[in-house]
Amino acid sequence: MSSTPAAARTRSRQSTGRSFSTFSASIEKPTPISADWISMRIKLCFSLISHLRGGRWSGGSGRSIRRLVRRAPALFCLAGLAAATAAAGCGASATVDRVLPGAGVRIVRVENFAGDVSIESWNDGSAVRLRADVLGPDAAAVAAVRTDLTRAGEVVNALLTPPPGVAGLRAEVLLNVPPGVTLQVVNRGGPVYVLGSFSGLMVRNAGGLVRAYGANGPVDVENVSGSISIEGAIPFFHVKTDVGRVRIASDLEGALTGDSTATVERGRLGVTLPASGHATVEASTKLGRLVTNCGIAVEEIGDGGRMVGTVGGGGPSLTLRIAAGTVGVWRGVL
How far is Cα 209 from Cα 82, in angstroms, rounded to an integer? 12
Ramachandran bin of 284, using left for φ above 0, alpha for ψ from -120 to 50, beta for the remaining angles: beta
How far is Cα 207 from Cα 223, in angstroms, rounded to an integer? 6
Contacts 24+ apart (CB under 8 A), 284-288: 284/320, 284/321, 284/322, 284/327, 285/321, 285/322, 285/323, 285/324, 285/325, 285/326, 285/327, 286/322, 286/323, 286/324, 287/323, 287/324, 287/325, 288/322, 288/324, 288/325, 288/326, 288/327
Asked if residue 289 lies in contact with residue 305, where contact means CB atoms within 8 angstroms, the answer is yes
Quick one: pLDDT at residue 51? 41
Quick one: pLDDT at residue 43? 44
**Closest alpha carbon to 75 in 99, 51, 98:** 51
How far is Cα 2 from Cα 36, in angstroms, rounded to an integer? 53
Quick one: pLDDT at residue 149? 97
Quick one: pLDDT at residue 265? 96
How far is Cα 190 from Cα 183, in angstroms, rounded to an integer? 17
Per-run averaged pLDDT (10 residues), the chain, 334 residues = 42 37 34 46 48 39 45 50 43 94 96 96 86 95 96 97 94 95 95 94 95 93 95 94 95 83 96 91 96 93 94 93 96 74
Quick one: pLDDT at residue 40? 46
- CA 229 from chain center: how many Å? 7
Quick one: pLDDT at residue 54? 41
Quick one: pLDDT at residue 334? 54
Q: pTM of the prediction?
A: 0.75
Q: What is the DSSP letter of 315?
A: -
